[in-house]
Amino acid sequence: MIHTSKLSVLINPDYFLQSTALADKLKLPLIENPDRAAVPPYVLVYTDRGLALQQTGVKADGPVFVDYLGGPSAYRRSKGGGELIVKAVSGNKDTKPSVLDVTAGLGRDCFVLASWGYAVTALERSPVVFSLLEDGLERANLLGDDELRSVVQRLQIVHVDAIEYLQEKAILNPPGVIVIDPMFPPSKKTALVKKEMRAFHSVVGPDQDGSELLGASLDAAEYRVVVKRPKKADFLAGLKPNFSLEGKAIRFDVYAKKSFRQK
């Protein structure tokens, strides 16, 4: 459910039709002139860089985009890097199981995996986040170079609740590896949460069903389930993984079901 008191679509006259279509699709109020209207804490607005989730007010954070053409995704793609997530998903870059990312969010993790050559289906239940993701992918397909287009073509996004998907669709076509990155309640200790997480906490709210998602993923995955956690956080659902891979601030907990060598 979208909290309409927290979010509106701000009309950019250069993108009038897209703005009205989005407000209609998401059933959100449209604001034409923010100086006259009661402005909510966040707006969705089309800009020349794509659809943005923008905080309002004097000390507002910068806009949140899904930007595969520039920003951290483009940097990662050009510089490569030993992504821990690749090791967590398959141990090495030559084993390429199909991947189901059940918490797509801003599509960074699934993009990293697609740029390493994995075919990824990414699920997102929030209509707001899904709209940002869809816009980022469309722009990458339209404006990206051949290499970027080949990466995003390995990436499929679906607007659905993952638990429903796992219980209905994944039975017919079991994913090789499932990746989960649920959103947690903001920690009181960390005052400096990134702008993306502040926006998500306000507009989407924390994910309360991570344990259920882990259970459904363990039932559905063929080889393993990988859970991304803040480094110091408890195991999801209190369930001890087979092993963990630690980065500077995050950790991947790996729940193994079957070896990749086993058919």
Ligand X SMILES: C[S@@+](CC[C@H](N)C(=O)[O-])C[C@H]1O[C@@H](n2cnc3c(N)ncnc32)[C@H](O)[C@@H]1O
**One of 124, 137, 170, 236 touching ligand X (CB under 6 A):** 124
Residue 236 within binding range of ligand X, rule CB under 6 A: no
Stretch that binds ligand X, among 6-14, 42-50, 125-133, 145-153 (CB under 6 A): 125-133
Is the separation of the CB atoms in 247 and 84 below 8 Å?
yes
Instruction: Report the residue number, 96 or 228, with the smaller CB distance to ligand X.
Output: 228
Tell which positions 169-198 bind ligand X, by CB under 6 A.
181-183
Residue whose C-beta lies closest to ligand X: 105
Residue 7 within binding range of ligand X, rule CB under 6 A: no
Residue 125 within binding range of ligand X, rule CB under 6 A: yes
Residue 225 within binding range of ligand X, rule CB under 6 A: no
Q: How far is the CB of 257 from ligand X (least distance, A)?
A: 20
Which whole-number Å values give the CA distances from 165 to 72, 98, 128, 186, in the listed order?
29, 16, 19, 27
The structure tokens 């007010």 sit at 57
Residue 220 within binding range of ligand X, rule CB under 6 A: no
Residue 136 within binding range of ligand X, rule CB under 6 A: no
Residue 131 within binding range of ligand X, rule CB under 6 A: no
Can you give the binding site for ligand X, defined by CB under 6 A?
102-103, 105-109, 123-126, 129, 161-163, 181-183, 204, 207, 213
